[in-house]
Amino acid sequence: MGVQGHPVCRTPRTVGPDRSRLSRSAAATYAGRVTDPVWTTLATTDHEQVAVCHDRATGLRAVIALHSTALGPGLGGTRFHPYAGLHDALADVLRLSRAMSYKTAVAGLDHGGGKAVIIGDPATDKTADLLRAYGRFVESLAGRYVTACDVGTYVADMDVVAQTTRWATGRSTQNGGAGDSSVLTAYGVFQGMQAAAAHVWGAPSLAGRRVGIAGVGKVGRLLAGHLLADRAEVVVTDPDAAAVAALAARHPEVATSPDVTALTGLDLDVYSPCALGGALDAATVERLRARVVCGGANNQLAREGPGGTAERLRERGITYCPDYLVNAGGVIQVSEELRGFDLERARAATRAIHDHTSQVLRTADEQQVTPAAAADRIAEQRMASGRDTIWLPGNAPGEVPTRRR
């Protein structure tokens, strides 16, 4: 692991059913010889590159992870969160960046998966100098990682980060960006939800359906607006009372629930987790009465893979829309900034989430697998068609990255 921002470079790997993951046995052997959890995690990950960043002057501590650049430079937001320590931050950024590889692949983008986390409380630790220091670390990767907003970071923050790097998207329109990426994230989740409604109930509408939204921050608040315009009944919860109050002031017809436990126990048609990851734990899945799960949060499944959460949802007859499939509107929006942002072009690309979701749900039924497994297969097949070596800088800022076919 690098210090002072020097990256750890791992053996390139290609995702796909016919490609082997290189040096897995060697990594496992090495991991058995060390006891530090950070080193153990790094020794067993299949990520291409991990950069640990520290700036003494501002107190910045961050981790940037690139999972795969088989399809192009890694794209993903910057999360600012008060992690308990480096190991927790590392585990989160590895999980998030891997999900971004699948998200960009299934969305049809010529990008790989990347993510960054800044360790600290954004309410007290975030400063302009710290964000500029972070931007310099992003710039040091020379375009292999393109950043954007995430939990704890906003458009105004990306404007500051962009002062020291060419590779910050999600900037304000005044600074050449597309603005808040949550706009198309929410729109994409709504498209996926309509596709799920058509799959389950036969019509692509939420009219008359009861939808519970957990988390009414940037994405959940906008999603509520789409649902109300579609004549759905909306119930929300959020530990941030101010966020709930702001939504209620704008949409007084929205009902509220005291917490997630109460919300998921209601007689819902759709449950939409729109806050942090891990929303679909075992207790929540058993409590759910909804027929559909479709939300904007990342990494919703508490347990992935065979025997995991997705399989239990399927056993219970609950249609799960994979999170990275339906919440790809934001990454579509920020990727458009690299080629000159056009809102209508970005909205058209985001509307395709409806068809992508329909395809995944149909394929899952045909193959008798979970929608999560069906989406993974589609993403992995596309990544396997990409390059065999890591993506290296060679495209000027603003050009669409070109991948070898």
Active site residues: 115
* Pair type for strands 74-75 and 78-81: unpaired
Cα distances from 209 to residues 193, 197, 227, 271, 354, in angstroms, run: 11, 9, 9, 11, 18
Token reading at 401: 């990255």
Strand partners, 185: none
Report the amino acid identity of residue 209.
R
| Residue corresponding to tokens 């193959």 | 367
**Terminal CA-CA length for the chain:** 32
Burial class of residue 251, CB neighbours in 10 A (0-12, 13-18, 19+): middle
Reference 2, options 35, 27, 39; nearest CA is: 39
Cα distances from 261 to residues 51, 223, 241, 281, in angstroms, run: 38, 21, 16, 11
Cα distances from 382 to residues 67, 230, 284, 385, in angstroms, run: 15, 34, 33, 5
Q: How is the chain split among helix, strand and coil, in percent rounded to 5?
A: 40, 15, 45
Q: What is the DSSP string of 320-338?
A: E--HHHHTTHHHHHHHHHT
CB–CB of 109/75 below 8 Å?
yes
Cα distances from 381 to residues 15, 94, 139, 310, 392, in angstroms, run: 8, 21, 31, 20, 22
Report the amino acid identity of residue 19.
R
CB–CB of 284/268 below 8 Å?
no
